[in-house]
Each structure stands twice: as C-alpha cells, then as structure tokens.
Amino acid sequence: MIRLEDIIERVSAYNPAGDLDLIRKAYIFSAKVHKGQVRLSGEPYLNHPIEVAMLLAQLRLDPQTISTGLLHDTIEDTFASTEELKEFFGPEVAEMVDGVTKIGKIAFATSEEKQAENFRKMILAMGKDIRVILVKLADRLHNMRTLEHLPNENPIANRLGIGWIKSELEDLSLKYLRPELYNKISKMVSDKWVERERFITDFKDIIQKEMESFNIQGEVTGRPKHIYGVYKKLGDQDVVDIEQLNDIMAFRIKVDSVKDCYGALGMVHSLWKPVPGRFKDFIAMSKANGYQSLHTTVIAPNGERVEVQIRTREMHRIAEEGIAAHWKYKEGKAFSHKDDARFSWLRQLLELQTDLKDPAHFMETVKVDLFSDEVYVFTPKGLVKELQRGATPVDFAYGIHSDIGHKCVGAKVNGKMVPLRYQLRNGDTVEILTSTTHHPSRDWLKFVVTSRAKARIIQWINTEERGRSISLGREMLEKELKKYSLELRNEDMSKAVSELHIPTAEDLYARVGYGKLPIHNVLSKIVPKDKLLDSQKKPTLGLTSVISRFRKKPDSAIRIKGVEDVMVRFGNCCNPLSGDKVVGFITRGRGVTVHRVECPMTREIDPERKVDVEWDTGAVGSRPAKIEVVCLDKKGILAEISSTITSSEANITSAQLKATEDKKAVGIFEVEVGSVAQLQKVIAALSRLKGVLKVERLRA
C-alpha cells in the first residue's frame, strides 16, 4: 500500500525545492471528497489517485502534476467543481484536472489501427498541456492493472514514447482482451525460459568481449520480447507454436556516444549475418516522439533470428521515460522554443542538461497546442477524420468523397445547423446534408482550405464550363454554316483544327464558345473562298464584334461566374437592371442572355442551359427601363412628369402618352437608369406629383 509520505519522499529526492505542501493539500482534499467511495475491488477509492500520483512521481514530474493526479477524479466522481479547485489550488492545477476529465469523456467507436492513431492525435490535440496527457496515461495504467475487477470493455493505449508504460499497457490490454492467447504465450515463454536464459548469457558475453576488443565502452542486456511483442510476431508470421517463431529475443547495447552506436553496429554485423531489410536507423531519422536507436536483426549461431537495438545511454533514458525525460531545464535559464512543425520542439529539448533542480521553469515549453496544424473531428458513425486547421464542412465533405462534396448543401455540427464556412474544432461531430440537384459553387473557393477540396471544386467548375462552351461553340458554328447551306462535317473540322494549330475539335468549339476565337477565322478554313467573299459583301455581326461592341457600352455590368470573354445580352422581355436578381442562359449564336429571375420566359428555357451570373457592382453604366404612369388628363402634366424624371438624374429615351375615356392619361416612358435603386427613386418622385394616380415598372 502506497502512502502519501512515500510520494513526498520520492518527489523531494529529485525536486527538493518543489511545493510539497501543495501535494499534501491535494491529498487531504481528495481524501475528503472521496470519503466513503470504494472501487469495484472493494478497496477505498482514494487508493486509485494515490497510485496515479506515485506513477507520476516515478516519471519525475512537478508537484502541480502530482497534485493533479491526486485530484484527477474529483470533478468527475464527486461534488467538487472546477471553480472550487481553482480557489484552493490555483488555475494551473484546476485547468489540468478539467483537461483530464474532458479527455476521459471521449467515446471510442472503433479499434481499427488507423482510427486508433487518429484518436491518439485527437487526445493530444485536446490536451493542450502535455502534463494532462501524462496524468491520463497514469490513470489508465492503474485502471488496467486492476482490470480484473471491472466489466469487460475495450481499453486503449495512448503512447507518448514512454517505453515501460507502453509495454505494460500492451500486455495488460492483451491479457483482458484475449486471455486464452495471453496465457498460452506466457506459458510457452516461461516453459523455455531456462533455455532462453542460457542463450541470453552466451550471446551477451560474445558481444561484451567483442566490444572490449573494439574499445567500445558500454553494457549489454537481453530478454525475450514482452508478451504483446510475441503476440504481434504470431500475427505477423501466422504461427501458433513458439518453436516456429523467429525473432522473439531482443538485445540492447547501450554506449556513450553516437559514434560508438555505429561502431557497435559494424561489430555486430561482423559477428553475425544481418537479415536484409531489417535494419532501421532511428538515430538519423528519429521518431516523432523523440525515440532514437539503431535496430538490426541478425542470424545467431543456432540459426535463430535475434533483434539487436543499439543506442546511447541518453537515448535509452528517453526511450524508457518518453516525454517525461525532457522535464529538464538549463539552470538559471528558462527554455522556450515554439515550432509549428509536429513534435519538432521535443527534439530540440533533447539538447538540454540532465540535472533537474526544479521543473517549474520548464512548464512553458510544454504548454503548447500539439498538432497545431490539424483538427480532428468525428463522422456521425464515430470515425475520426484529420483535417487541416481552419477546415470547413465543405472540406470535410470532400474528405469523405468527391460526390458528397459536390452535392453538399448544408451541414450540422454537434446536431446544429452551421454555415458552410464554419471552421471546425477538435471533437466536433459533423453531418453533411446533400442534394442530388446541387453543384459546387465558385464561392466555396473563398473559404475551403484543404487542397483536395480546392482541386475537386476547380475540376468540376472547369469541366462544366468547358462542356457549356463546347456546346455553345458548336451551335454557333452550325448556325453560321447554315447561311452558306453547309453542314458541320468532321473532315472540315479536322482541316480547321490542323490549320489553326488547335489540339482537338472540342478545343476549337470551346474557344469559339468562350469568344476567344472569332467565328470568321474558323469559317475561312471551311467555307469556299468564293462563297465567303460573297458573304462579306453583306456584313454580318460576328462573335468578336458583338463582344467588342457590347463592352464599349456602359451597361455591360454583368459577370458570368467562372467565365470571361463571353458574349452577353439582356432579355428584352424583362429588361434587367443592376440590383435585380438575375439568371443567365446559353442561347444559340448569342452567348449568354440575362433575365430577371421572375421573368416568365425563364420557365420556357431548357434548365440545362442555365449559368450563374451576377452584377459587377464596380461597373458604371445605365440600362433602359420602362415605367407606366397613370394620371389625370390635365394641361401641363407631361411637362411635370418629364421634369421630375430629369430631376431624378434619369434620362428619357422615349415617351408615349394617350388619353382614356374617363379623362385619365396613360404614359409609357423608357428611361435610362444605373440601377433598381435609381429607378425606385424615379417612381417615388413621380408618385408624389399632384394628379399622378399610379406608377409602376413594366416587365417588358
């Protein structure tokens, strides 16, 4: 049974200046709020936080973290609150306890290896302060040690490169998840232990003597791999008999320098033949958690494969203690280094001195947001998706499948509707709403951040635009050729493509449809010259001239989304003005015709020809609009109406006025205005005139 004084004694040994009273205070508070609570084993609940605190002391952590270990279940399992902990122990400890509580609430829906890794990353990303993760790790380890008292469940192992905790968690997980296999492997290993022990001794002696002859200082240890390691080998090699199992013996050589690591490697390879493809250099390319070592597998004298790991003593300490091995600082100098790259700050910490006085100065270096460039979110089925920080529901949708992205019309995050530009946060559950009639919008490119989403949206837009321009270009050529009583033939197009140096006929149609290739240039390659000359005597309006003429007009303030250099005209049926909601349709030989959304003509046009258009609010120009004025038939009324329109800065281009039998007059005025707002100003001014009964805008 571990006592409080056992923890105090261990902490004071490596951190005599630490706040030991904080630990005692946390113990008393935990004992008070957990009083009367027992674990399923029947022992007092307080034993659990004490065991967790001792594990943290074994990792040589600071008093704040050990106090958090004593208090880690108080918010979850007692009436204590975060505010209460903040009052008694300060915000640092309170925030860590709150962090441990939140991590414990994460639900795990799958044991798939890739998903397990994403869950680990999510936990790290949510932890903020790495000490929170270490407390949770110690909590989980003690729970696993006493799992025989708990209901069957699937425990998870969260690793931060802490070798002894990692190995114990793996063995305990196997023990409770597959007890029969665990017991079988354990028995097989123990039955062969005497023979294995003799082999280990002989192998160690050979290496040790050879190291002396090479003048390499160091020590050699050997052991069978732990139970989970053997289990993995069984799975990899598909055997059930340990006699058939290779590579279950592991030796470790610890030396003083990196130079000696590579020297020892050459020595081992000179003694025994290395197995091709089984050498890994984690010194030159260290793992993300800071682990460094040389791994090689050789054929021993008895023909058995043996793994040999070679590392410096410092590398070994880091491999065993993981992140806790970095709990150091240069005396008198607080170390602070922030790096956006994943885990790169850990590698920087390897250069620090090894003597630990007070780890408090080191805390700022680990209060960072791990995986700061990523965000981890859940699908509705509980799977975790890794996305770039700043990702939106549209990024998430494309991360699931391109079709989901294309058809995305909305999103729910944690059960609530959110805008598509909402930035996802760690732990969000995202549900995408789709429609088979919906398509991507160019506007999405303004807020998506993942390269996959951007590429798929651009690809879809380009494909759709190209298809429309090909169709339009072909129709325009067919119409022009009919003027010469000619049809569009493949052989003629092949000739035109070749002479104009255009890759394919589709490319030619697309350029015509975009307005980037004058129709006359194509006709000159297809139509006989005598016919072409005759037609030139009768001037016609080609695409290029239409675009040119149109652009010179000030009323061309319309943009086709995603397309440039396209001929645009306005429907005479509805006379759209800037500010009207408009829609465009590809029309034969006329480019794109723009209508007001409510125009009845839009219901008669093939919806496949529809394109998105919008007003260019930065363009200056005017458009014609017609208004009908009903007034009393009296002398001077026309002059008053005309004067009022002019005073409203609108120009009258035509006017028609006729009298009715009931002594009224109806006037139809065509005026030029810059926008709907200006037209409304004209209508309002006319409505205030004495004798004017009604003013309205005509739709056609």
Q: How far is CA 402 from CA 190, 316, 344, 455, in A?
A: 54, 46, 33, 10
Q: pLDDT-derived band of residue 658, with 50, 70 and 90 as boundaries?
A: confident
Q: Is 616 a catalytic residue?
A: no
Last residue of a domain, one of 449, 468, 490: 449
Mean pLDDT of 52-69: 90
Q: Are 631 and 637 in contact (CB under 8 A)?
A: yes
Q: Which of 77, 84, 464, 507 is catalytic?
A: 77
Least confident of 294-303, 389-398, 424-433, 609-618: 609-618
**Please, is 198 exposed, middle or buried when counting C-beta atoms within 10 Å of its C-beta (0-12, 13-18, 19+)?**
exposed
> For residue 563, what are the domain limits?
547-615
**Please, is 564 exposed, middle or buried when counting C-beta atoms within 10 Å of its C-beta (0-12, 13-18, 19+)?**
exposed
- 301 is a domain residue: yes
**Please, is 386 exposed, middle or buried when counting C-beta atoms within 10 Å of its C-beta (0-12, 13-18, 19+)?**
middle
**Do 603 and 496 sit in the same domain of this protein?**
no
**Which three-class secondary structure string do you get for 518-549?**
CHHHHHHHHCCHHHHHHHHCCCCCCHHHHHHH
Residue 10, φ and ψ in degrees, nearest 5: -70, -45
**Do 140 and 29 sit in the same domain of this protein?**
yes
- 176 is a domain residue: no
Q: Domains in the chain: how many in total? A: 7
**Please, is 472 exposed, middle or buried when counting C-beta atoms within 10 Å of its C-beta (0-12, 13-18, 19+)?**
buried
**Do 378 and 336 sit in the same domain of this protein?**
no
Q: What local confidence, expressed as pLDDT, does residue 489 receive?
A: 85
Q: Which of 9, 21, 43, 76 is catalytic?
A: 76
Q: What local confidence, expressed as pLDDT, does residue 159 receive?
A: 37
Mean pLDDT of 282-301: 81
Q: Which residues of 281-303 are buried (b: 16+ CB within 10 A; e: fewer)?
A: ebbeebeebbbbbbbbbbebeee
**Residue found by looking up tokens 């400890």 in the block:** 93
Mean pLDDT of 348-362: 36
Least confident of 176-180, 272-276, 308-312, 422-426: 176-180
Least confident of 49-53, 344-348, 386-390, 444-448: 344-348
**What is d(CA 293, CA 283) in angstroms, rounded to the nearest whole number?**
5
**DSSP 8-class letter at 424:** P
Helix (H) / strand (E) element for 350: namely none
Q: Is the pLDDT of residue 495 over 90?
A: no
How does strand 408-413 pair with strand 384-388? unpaired
**What is d(CA 672, CA 6) in angstroms, rounded to the nearest whole number?**
92
**Do 114 and 221 sit in the same domain of this protein?**
no
Q: pLDDT-derived band of residue 153, with 50, 70 and 90 as boundaries?
A: very low
- 658 is a domain residue: yes
490's CB contacts (< 8 A; 6+ apart) are 505
**What is d(CA 382, CA 405) in angstroms, rounded to the nearest whole number?**
19
CATH number at residue 646: 3.30.70.260
Cβ atoms within 10 A of the Cβ of 256, count?
13
Q: What local confidence, expressed as pLDDT, does residue 522 receive?
A: 85
**Do 22 and 78 sit in the same domain of this protein?**
yes
**Residue found by looking up tokens 């065991």 in the block:** 51
| Token pair belonging to 496 | 């035109």
**Do 218 and 352 sit in the same domain of this protein?**
no
Cβ atoms within 10 A of the Cβ of 394, count?
27
| Token pair belonging to 151 | 């209901």
Helix (H) / strand (E) element for 583: namely strand 582-587
Mean pLDDT of 614-639: 82
Last residue of a domain, one of 449, 471, 502: 449
**Do 497 and 382 sit in the same domain of this protein?**
no
Chain CA centroid to CA 343, Å: 18
Q: Is 77 a catalytic residue?
A: yes
**Residue found by looking up tokens 């837009």 in the block:** 461
**Do 40 and 150 sit in the same domain of this protein?**
yes
**What is d(CA 511, CA 498) in angstroms, rounded to the nearest whole number?**
15
Name beta bridge partners: 696.
628
**Do 316 and 331 sit in the same domain of this protein?**
no
- 72 is a domain residue: yes
CATH number at residue 228: 3.30.460.10
**Which three-class secondary structure string do you get for 431-483?**
EEEECCCCCCCHHHHHCCCCHHHHHHHHHHHHHHHHHHHHHHHHHHHHHHHHC
**Do 568 and 665 sit in the same domain of this protein?**
no
- 181 is a domain residue: no
CATH number at residue 87: 1.10.3210.10
Q: pLDDT-derived band of residue 537, with 50, 70 and 90 as boundaries?
A: very low
Query: For the chain, what percent of residues have pLDDT higher than 90?
Result: 22
Q: Is the pLDDT of residue 531 over 60?
A: yes
| Token pair belonging to 23 | 């630990």
Alpha-carbon torsion 404, 410, 414, 415, what sign? negative
Of the candidates 354, 346, 347, 289, which has an alpha carbon nearest to the alpha carbon of residue 328? 354
**Do 315 and 386 sit in the same domain of this protein?**
no
Of the candidates 125, 163, 90, which has an alpha carbon nearest to the alpha carbon of residue 360? 90
Cβ atoms within 10 A of the Cβ of 173, count?
18
**What is d(CA 425, CA 5) in angstroms, rounded to the nearest whole number?**
43
Mean pLDDT of 349-359: 34
- 166 is a domain residue: no
Q: Is the pLDDT of residue 309 over 90?
A: yes
Q: What local confidence, expressed as pLDDT, does residue 42 receive?
A: 77
Q: Are 223 and 200 in contact (CB under 8 A)?
A: yes
Mean pLDDT of 170-186: 75
- Which DSSP string do the residues of 55-117 spell out, in sequence order? HHHHTT--HHHHHHHHHTTHHHHSS--HHHHHHHHHHHHHHHHHHHHHHHT-------HHHHH
**What is d(CA 1, CA 128) in angstroms, rounded to the nearest whole number?**
33
Query: For the chain, what percent of residues have pLDDT higher than 70?
Result: 73
What SS3 class is residue 288?
coil
- 169 is a domain residue: no
The residue type found at 557 is: A
Q: What local confidence, expressed as pLDDT, does residue 208 receive?
A: 92
Q: Is the pLDDT of residue 587 over 80?
A: no
| Token pair belonging to 322 | 């993981």
**What is d(CA 56, CA 139) in angstroms, rounded to the nearest whole number?**
10
Last residue of a domain, one of 117, 143, 158: 158
Helix (H) / strand (E) element for 694: namely strand 692-697
Q: Are 442 and 461 in contact (CB under 8 A)?
A: yes
**Do 154 and 8 sit in the same domain of this protein?**
yes
Name beta bridge partners: 376.
386
Angle at 534 between CA 530 and CA 540, to 5 degrees: 130
Q: pLDDT-derived band of residue 483, with 50, 70 and 90 as boundaries?
A: confident
- 167 is a domain residue: no
